[in-house]
């Protein structure tokens, strides 16, 4: 195969991936608001670690809800229901708050299809709320497609192909902040990563 043909093929693959990345479930295309992110308080979990220490999710694919242990549920607040399932990213678990106006709701996705860590980060990069951080020593980002006052999502690079994705919804009081929502999301992500590491 000539060098020119190889270049054309690679360019086609890159274009295809870019097109797919624009419609990744769980990481919708950001609104055309221009680049730039709203400043929120920096996370203090340390500097970015090198890639390489992957954390496997395979043994939890059929039991994602086990990634928050029974004795850790209180750390999430008042939880009315723990519900496993699947979505377009892979196996998932939802921890529903007892009262929508008082309690947070969390959703975990073990990303096994339709997206990777890098493709999701690229989708998040233009969101109004976007920050790079580390969770339990792993590279992570927290983001929200609006202003972060109601929701925040945290994506952790447990591996390049199979990250974990935690989405947090704050109580519907209208008093939330980006700091509150992203800190809550990162807290749950840290619990989950800790249990993945054993």
Segment 122-135, tens digit of pLDDT: 999 999 999 999 99
Report residue 91 CA to chain centroid gap: 14
Structure confidence at residue 40 as a pLDDT band (50, 70, 90): very low
Half-sphere exposure of 165 (CA within 13 A, CB side): 29
Residue in the block written with tokens 């699947």? 86
Of residues 159 and 18, which shows the higher confidence score?
159
32: number of Cβ within 10 Å: 6
- Would you say 45 and 153 are in contact if contact means Cβ atoms under 8 Å apart? no
25: its two tokens: 């479930």
- In the chain, what's the furthest Cα-to-Cα distance? 63
Residue 155 pairs in a beta bridge with: 141, 165
| Residue 102 confidence (pLDDT) | 93
Does the CA dihedral 173-176-182-183 come out positive or negative?
A: negative
Does residue 36 carry a pLDDT above 50?
A: no
C-alpha span between 109 and 85 (Å, rounded): 9
* Helices marked H in 22-140: 117-124
Does residue 144 carry a pLDDT above 80?
A: yes
Give the residue-averaged pLDDT of 81-89: 97
Structure confidence at residue 73 as a pLDDT band (50, 70, 90): very high
Instruction: Please tell me the pTM assigned to this model.
Output: 0.75
Segment 53-71, tens digit of pLDDT: 789 999 999 999 999 999 9
Residue in the block written with tokens 């989950």? 192
The listed range with the strongest mean pLDDT (8-12, 126-130, 170-174) is 126-130
| Residue 52 confidence (pLDDT) | 53
Of residues 142 and 38, which shows the higher confidence score?
142
The pair phi, psi for residue 93, each rounded to 5°, is -145, 140
The listed range with the strongest mean pLDDT (19-28, 93-102, 173-182) is 93-102
Number of domains in the chain: 1
Domain residue limits at 122: 3-28+36-197
Torsion of CA 105, 110, 115, 118, to 10 degrees: 90
- Would you say 115 and 24 are in contact if contact means Cβ atoms under 8 Å apart? yes
Does residue 168 carry a pLDDT above 60?
A: yes
Q: Is 146 helix (H, G, I), strand (E, B) or coil?
A: coil
């Amino acid at each position: 195969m000539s060098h020119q043909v190889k270049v054309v093929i690679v360019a086609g693959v890159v274009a295809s991936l870019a097109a797919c990345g624009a419609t990744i479930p769980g990481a919708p295309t950001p609104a055309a608001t221009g680049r730039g992110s709203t400043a929120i308080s920096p996370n203090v979990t340390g500097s970015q670690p090198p890639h390489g220490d992957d954390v496997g999710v395979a043994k939890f694919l059929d039991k994602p809800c086990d990634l928050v242990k029974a004795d850790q549920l209180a750390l999430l607040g008042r939880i009315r229901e723990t519900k496993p399932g699947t979505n377009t990213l892979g196996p998932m678990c939802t921890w529903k708050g007892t009262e929508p106006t008082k309690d947070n709701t969390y959703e975990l996705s073990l990303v096994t299809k339709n997206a990777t860590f890098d493709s999701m980060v690229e989708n998040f990069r233009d969101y109004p709320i976007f920050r790079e951080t580390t969770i339990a020593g792993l590279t992570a980002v927290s983001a929200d497609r609006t202003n972060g006052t109601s929701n925040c999502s945290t994506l952790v690079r447990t591996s390049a192909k199979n990250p974990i994705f935690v989405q947090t919804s704050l109580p519907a009081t209208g008093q939330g902040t980006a700091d509150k929502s992203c800190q809550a999301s990162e807290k749950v992500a840290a619990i989950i990563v800790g249990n993945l590491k054993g």
